[in-house]
């Protein structure tokens, strides 16, 4: 809350010890991605210091992205702005790329992308790197609104890969991509309830799943190991199967 209230963790600690071991999950504290430490002297509370940067406490966390409109929104209450933190429903980011630049995702975290239109340019391509992945049974989730999320490449007639999924243990759903596609190179990636128009979907990596995809004028290809394709419809496009099954 901006430093208005503090929860005391320990008292009467000897400074020369140099450290204090604390199991945060046993403290009953709130979940917050913007927690801070404050240390003060028992004998003189005017001697005090606070951490310069926030840290994540007791995740997982929810993150929010919205376009320039609130029409039909399910997850957020105001328009997106990349100056926002993106951790509250009333202060969403406006681009996924900026959110991923600011926050390091961990297993169990969920990004909610609200209803609307999202133009994508070169600096807004989404890259989920290794450090943004989850773990077995605890994936990172990226969910689009069931009322429709359209992401369109705006720098030419045919776009690049709009989603580069290098991280493992990721679930991606509920988005429509126009003039751009997806590449999955990690493992244990699940992509479902998606549509791609004039783009390419490449399932590399290992043990990945592509389900309920509608591809129009697009290429769908598999080059990975143990990749499962289910209910994939390709219209006026190309379907290439490779890799090992």
**Per-residue pLDDT tens digits for 151-172:** 999 998 877 899 999 999 999 9
**pLDDT recorded at residue 198:** 95
The residue assigned the tokens 């007639």 is 157
* Residue 3's pLDDT band (cuts 50, 70, 90): confident
Q: Which of 30-34, 103-107, 150-154 has the lowest mean pLDDT?
A: 30-34
> Mean pLDDT throughout 2-20?
82
Q: Are 206 and 168 in contact (CB under 8 A)?
A: no
* Residue 201's pLDDT band (cuts 50, 70, 90): very high
Q: Are 35 and 2 in contact (CB under 8 A)?
A: no
Q: Are 54 and 35 in contact (CB under 8 A)?
A: yes
Cα separations in angstroms, 205 against 169, 173, 245: 11, 18, 12
**pLDDT recorded at residue 11:** 85
Q: Is the pLDDT of residue 44 over 90?
A: no
* Residue 87's pLDDT band (cuts 50, 70, 90): very high
**pLDDT recorded at residue 196:** 97
* Residue 45's pLDDT band (cuts 50, 70, 90): confident
Residue 119 contacts by C-beta under 8 Å, 6 or more apart in sequence?
Answer: 151, 152, 154
Q: Which of 14-28, 51-65, 175-189, 202-216 has the lowest mean pLDDT?
A: 14-28
CA distance 143 to 194: 10
Q: Which of 59-68, 84-93, 101-110, 157-166 has the lowest mean pLDDT?
A: 157-166
Q: Which residue has better confidence, 20 or 121?
A: 121
Q: Which of 38-52, 147-161, 208-222 has the lowest mean pLDDT?
A: 38-52
Cα separations in angstroms, 80 against 122, 126, 151, 162, 204: 19, 17, 15, 20, 32
**pLDDT recorded at residue 27:** 60
Task: Give the sign of the dihedral formed by CA 216, CA 213, CA 120, CA 114.
Answer: positive
């Amino acid at each position: 809350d901006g430093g208005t209230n503090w929860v005391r963790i320990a008292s009467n600690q000897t400074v020369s010890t140099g450290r204090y071991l604390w199991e945060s999950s046993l403290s009953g504290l709130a979940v917050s991605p913007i927690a801070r430490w404050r240390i003060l002297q028992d004998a003189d509370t005017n001697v005090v210091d606070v951490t310069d940067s926030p840290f994540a406490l007791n995740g997982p966390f929810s993150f929010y992205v919205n376009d320039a409109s609130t029409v039909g929104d399910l997850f957020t209450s105001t328009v997106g702005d990349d100056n926002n933190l993106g951790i509250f429903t009333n202060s969403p980011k406006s681009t996924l790329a900026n959110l991923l630049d600011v926050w390091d995702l961990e297993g169990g975290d969920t990004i909610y992308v609200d209803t609307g239109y999202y133009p994508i340019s070169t600096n807004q391509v989404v890259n989920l790197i290794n450090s943004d992945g989850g773990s077995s049974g605890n994936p990172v989730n990226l969910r689009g609104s069931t009322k429709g999320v359209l992401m369109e490449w705006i720098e030419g007639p045919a776009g690049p890969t709009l989603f580069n999924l290098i991280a493992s243990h990721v679930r991606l759903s509920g988005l429509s991509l126009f003039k751009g596609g997806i590449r999955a190179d990690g493992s244990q990636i699940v992509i479902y309830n998606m549509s791609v128009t004039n783009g390419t979907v490449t399932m590399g990596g290992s043990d990945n799943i592509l389900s309920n995809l509608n591809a129009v004028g697009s290429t769908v290809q598999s080059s990975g190991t143990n990749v499962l394709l289910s209910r994939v419809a390709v219209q006026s496009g190309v379907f290439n199967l490779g890799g090992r099954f």
